[in-house]
Structure 1
Amino acid sequence: MKKRVIYILLLIFVQAEAFAQCSMCRAVLESEVDNSAAEGINNGIVYLMAFPYILVGGVLYFVYRSLKKKQSAES
């Protein structure tokens, strides 16, 4: 259990920088001189993609927890 917590914390705090864009957005934003718009678009896309994964992870956690609780009650 202790190792699992350490691995999860490492995954959370040790991240690589990720850039997520569709090809059309990338072409338009690369042609601009100022990169602040490109950085904003990248951050927005990454934030929008994070929330579905967080929600699915939360639902799966609660399902796992309820099944584990049900299984321990039957034993």
Structure 2
Amino acid sequence: MKKKLKFLYLFLAFGLMLAASAPAKAQCAMCSATVETSSENGDSQARGLNKGIMYLLAAPYLVIAVGGYIWYKKYRRKNVDLNNMPNQKLNLN
């Protein structure tokens, strides 16, 4: 019963967060004005700004992926033959 109530509270909190969200501009007024005028004039500032945003977006995912790979390589079990083990519980911790 407690588990269902906990799930209900979590679902309610998540629903309220989604309902209370307001649209926001991603850039300040100065940055958006500069990008608009430079893209109309054919400058490459808009492309550079987009590449910078993509770099900042990809960096945390890359760090997590490298950390996960290192963790996997460090803690995985090697050379375990499950056929020759005695009939007891297997502890994989």
Of Structure 1 and Structure 2, the greater helix share is in 1
Per the normalisation by structure 1, the TM-score is: 0.49
Kindly name which structure, 1 or 2, has the bigger radius of gyration based on alpha carbons: 2
Higher relative contact order (CA 8 A, sep 6+): 1
Using the size of structure 2 for normalisation, the TM-score is: 0.42
